[in-house]
Structure 1
Amino acid sequence: MSWFLSCVAPRRKAYKRLSARAPLSFGTEFLSVKEYMMKAKATLDAGLPFISDSNKVYIITGNESADMDSFVSALIFGYLTMCKYIKEGQESVLSEKKPSGLTDVGAFMSIINIPRDELMLRPDIMFILEKLDLPMDSLIFKEDILKADIKPEFTYWGLTDHNKMTGELAMLYDKRVVSIIDHHEDEGYSWSADPRIIEVVGSCTSLVTQYFKEGWLMDEPLWPDNDTTALLCLAPLLIDTYNFTLKVTDTDIYMRDFLLELLKYSNYILSDPYYFADNYYMQLIEAKRNVDNFTLRDHFRKDYKEWTEWNGLKLGMCSLVVRLDWIACRFSDEFWCGMESWAVERNGLDVVALLTAFDVDGMLNREVLLWVRNPDLIPVFDKVIKEMEYRFTLMTLKNDGVLAPGYKPGFWAWSQLDTSASRKQIGPFLRGVLQNSHIKKIGY
């Protein structure tokens, strides 16, 4: 048994191993989610003493926005892959879905694809960690992996909530991706990944839950921590579908009902499961929208995505949980200076978009602010603004002050009547404009 899984008390009876399978390199005992997090962090802090070409570390990461869906999908995929790996070594119960080539893994770890100091910008994640007694000091962040300087050939990587590795991690490890579960547009990378599941659903965690669902249905469960796992999985399903009022697919519904039934079966839910889900959703949303102490820069970086196109043009999209007029009023004197500072900090954004999502009397509302910072692109966007307004049912916001129409060249602000469209739809549209513009990046 490797150091990663040592000193863990047995939870269930020992299983007989099949002689046809090589012995596991890291042990045979199951862990809870909490123990998985603690052991992974301790292993990394100890410098990965076991790591070698025949004893690799399997790292799972969500995308760089690191919202609840990215956090939970990466954590649960890593945890349940570890449980599945142990189980296959004991009985080969799930041999039909065995991950490709992973017979030489010494540790699993799930990471959050942001700097450590940005966790405080995700109060909903901090809330669920506290609620489920999961240790914040056992979280692994992007900089922890970069600091460890792990040789690429000693790693496997799994991606959740995105299907192309990005940023600093991609520069080192993009050729080491062996699994993908995602619900965004397929960017056409890592075709040999297994699993490689890319489907349009409300929440990526729905796909992760579905992938491992058979483990819950066996006579003897695959993992020992059903309540924590189910509560974690349920959180992004509720948040991303706005409590199953938008972006809902049959898969999301089936997985929600499955998770609620699991909690009911274990006596965690003693009343109406849908009443429980409603209350859970309200707790999560209240935590997510606790942004009173945020600076303007905090709002911009809280849920941020960025793309650089073939011609060097850069698009930055910030998703906000407050209204445009609220943030403009609160930061009126610094609003546009703050936008400019953010664009410069991100190494010269050509286009900046702010997407808001907030409730009014229980109904979801959305707004869009678009700032074409690169003056050469303004005529390009002038030609497509009408199409954008039609496609996403945008109505010009009638505001005074810093949000007034025409306040700056290349600036538009709208109320979005089609609330079903999110960053997943608006992002590709704006990227398409940049890709087809034939404008080259300029230095400014």
Structure 2
Amino acid sequence: MNAITDPARDAAEPARAALEAAAHAARAAASTLARAPRESKDRALLAAAAALRSRSAAILAANAADLAAAEELTDAFRDRLTLNPKRVEAMALGLEEIAALPDPVGRVLAEWTRPNGLVFRRVAQPIGVIGMIYESRPNVGADAAGLCLKAGSPVILRGGRESLRSAAAIHACILEGLRAAGLPDSCVQVAPNADRAFVGAMLKAAGLIDLIIPRGGKGLVTRVMEEARVPVLAHAEGLCHTFVHAAADPAMARSILANAKMRRTGVCGATETLLIDRAIAPSLLPDLIGDLRALGCDFRADAAARAVLPELPAATEADFSTEWLDAVLSVAVVDGVESALDHIRRHGSEHTEAIITEDAQAARDFLDGLQSAVGLWNASTQFCDGGEFGFGAEIGIATGRLHARGPVGLEQLCTWRYHVIGTGQVRP
């Protein structure tokens, strides 16, 4: 079919035009934001935080409308979509924490002098225009806006269709902050509607958008990786494991696992699989399962776990490669650290794994043997969060092997350039 009369192309044209207009505006703002002094960026962040608090009622009303319009939500999805006064306050605090962090732009990352007297400096600089595609969690928009602003990069935000009203209400607060600091509105823009073609236009905007960051489920990330013509900073599923080693403190194991699984089941740092050492499974597994069952958790267990607790539903091989994002836990019995690592290598997504043990050597062997972005010793996997790392917030969790791994904060949102200072040198 001729492209000029292609109905699909014609239908996507408004979205493409809207994206190109937003991207051109962002690129025009990029030079101003890249050179903005820390004081201006911090003023914008603090004013936006104040606006989040003063407009809290409007934000919650918009969120209530989003929830009312959404259909057939799972409990975990509803939790991700829902805002409440505590979560609005957390967004405001996140912006204030970002403001308190050092300015990442212009940092001298390395400096050296050559025998000819030339001084070389590696200097942090903004990445450029960032496209952020995320699903359901409205607070991601505030976090992304704050981090990109402080890192000197304009951002175009495209949230999930379920959270459009919430996203618009939050964006109004960000705009209030930008205007208070005299920075262009186009430093932070949001998609005008839920048209999926807008996402497609973002993914094809090479030369207009410098980096795409997707934050959502497997379907979103897969689409981005398959269609993008722009560099992508992405993470796979959050298929996280907690390994209870033979030398674990039982009370600690019970406390950590309950938090790692059930604190918030719909976040990417939630534990999806329990690995328990065969040596302690008969004595400890009933207590671990009992605790989680009392909190409303369901299970999928391998044969060895069912030999201890026959009433547990049997797991399929696919269950161990499933990111539940719900109150469901896969359970497998393993034989020590190497067996646990082997299970993680076969089924994991290189996101976050934890070991619970009082044996320091076992912990070191586990952490050193991981390929995952984050490993924890005697702590909940739900600590895999930029705020908990001291980043103020995060724009996502990177599980790739290049540029950044783990929670992505201000430093990871910068690239670098080189300054070379001479005293008249010429090359022979």
Q: TM-score band (shorter)? A: under 0.3
In the superposition, the TM-score normalised over structure 1's length comes to 0.27
| Higher RCO by CA contacts (8 Å cutoff, separation 6 or greater) | 2
